[in-house]
Amino acid sequence: MKKDIIEPFQNKDIFNKLTIEDLDTKGKKVFIRADFNVPLDDNLMITDDRRIRSTLPTINYAIDEGAKVILSSHLGRPKGKVDPRLSLAPVAKRLKRLLNKEVIFAPDCIGSQVEGLVSKMRDGDVMILENLRYHPGEENNDEEFARSLAKLADFYVNDAFGAAHRAHASIVGITKFLPSAAGFLLKKEIEYLKGAIDNPVKPFIAILGGAKVSGKIGVLEHLVGHVDKVLVGGGMAFTFIKAMGYEIGDSLVEDGMLETAERIRKKLIENGIKFYLPVDCVIAQSIDPGAVIKIVPTLEIPQGWKALDIGPASVKLFTIALQDAKTILWNGPMGMFEIDLFSRGTFDIARAVSDAYALTIVGGGDTDLAVNRAGVSNTISFISTGGGASLQLLEGKELPGIAALTNRAD
194 and 260 in a single domain? The answer is yes
* pLDDT per residue rounded down to tens, the chain (410 residues): 444 444 554 445 678 899 999 999 999 999 999 999 999 999 999 998 999 999 999 999 999 999 999 999 999 999 999 999 999 999 999 999 999 999 999 999 999 999 999 999 999 999 999 999 999 999 999 999 999 999 999 999 999 999 999 999 999 999 999 999 999 999 999 999 988 888 899 999 999 999 989 989 999 999 998 999 999 999 999 999 999 999 999 999 999 999 999 999 999 999 999 999 999 999 999 998 889 999 999 999 999 999 999 999 999 999 999 999 999 999 999 999 999 999 999 999 999 999 999 999 998 678 988 999 999 999 999 999 888 899 898 888 899 999 999 998 75
pLDDT recorded at residue 13: 61
The CA-atom distances, in angstroms, between 104 and each of 67, 100, 125 are: 15, 13, 8
Which one of 182, 201, 234 terminates a domain? 182
Q: Which of 212, 274, 316, 408 is catalytic?
A: 212
Are 53 and 99 in contact by the 8 Å Cβ rule? The answer is no
Supply the CATH number for residue 286's domain.
3.40.50.1260
- Is 212 catalytic? The answer is yes
| Angle 118-59-4 from CA coordinates, rounded to 5° | 165
Q: Are 69 and 126 in contact (CB under 8 A)?
A: yes
Domain count, the chain: 2
Query: Do residues 250 and 272 both lie within one domain?
Result: yes
Specify the pLDDT at position 18.
96
Q: What is the pLDDT of residue 363?
A: 86
44 within a domain of the structure (yes/no): yes
Active-site annotation holds for 51: yes
13: CB partners within 8 A, 6+ apart: none
Nearest to 35 by CA among 375, 399, 336, 410: 399
Does one domain contain both 213 and 172? no
One DSSP character per residue, 122-146 reads: -TT-EEE---GGGSHHHHTT-HHHH
Do 288 and 218 share a structural domain? Answer: yes
Active site residue 365: yes
CA distance linking residue 39 with residue 333, whole number of Å = 20
Return the pLDDT at 195.
86
Task: Give the SS3 label for residue 260.
Answer: helix
Q: What is the pLDDT of residue 2?
A: 47
Task: Kindly state whether residues 213 and 328 are assigned to the same domain.
Answer: yes
199 and 143 assigned to the same domain:
no
Pairing of strands 104-105, 68-72: unpaired
306 and 252 share one domain: yes
278, 227: one domain: yes
Residues in the chain: 410
- E strand intervals along 28-80: 29-33, 68-72
Pair 43, 159 in one domain = yes
Strand (E) positions, 255-368? 274-276, 280-284, 293-297, 306-310, 327-331, 359-362
pLDDT for the residue 197: 85
Q: 76, 124, 215, 388: which one is catalytic?
A: 388
Q: What is the DSSP letter of 40?
A: B
Looking at the fold, whether 152 and 249 belong to one and the same domain comes out as: no
d(CA 360, CA 356): 8
| Per-residue model confidence (pLDDT) at position 196 | 85
Instruction: State the catalytic residue, choosing from 17, 33, 51, 265.
Output: 51
Count CB-CB contacts under 10 A for residue 143.
Answer: 14
The per-residue b/e assignment along 21-32, b for 16 or more CB within 10 angstroms, e otherwise, is eebebeebbbbb
Nearest to 281 by CA among 246, 239, 245, 251: 251
Q: What is the distance of C-alpha 154 from the center of its chain?
A: 29
Q: For residues 378 and 2, is the Cβ–Cβ distance under 8 A?
A: yes
Q: How far apart are CA 406 and CA 385, in angstroms?
A: 23
Q: 96 with 103: CB under 8 angstroms?
A: yes
Confidence at residue 366, expressed as pLDDT on a 0 to 100 scale = 87
d(CA 73, CA 75): 7
User: For 218-364, where are the E strands, in sequence order?
Assistant: 229-232, 274-276, 280-284, 293-297, 306-310, 327-331, 359-362
Single out the catalytic residue among 233, 365, 386, 401. Answer: 365
**Are residues 92 and 217 located together in one domain of the fold?**
no
Cβ distance 371 to 2 under 8 Å?
no
Domain housing 349: 190-394
Collect all residues with Cβ–Cβ distance below 8 Å to 66 and sequence separation of at least 6: 25, 26, 27, 123, 124
Classify residue 282: in a domain, yes or no. yes
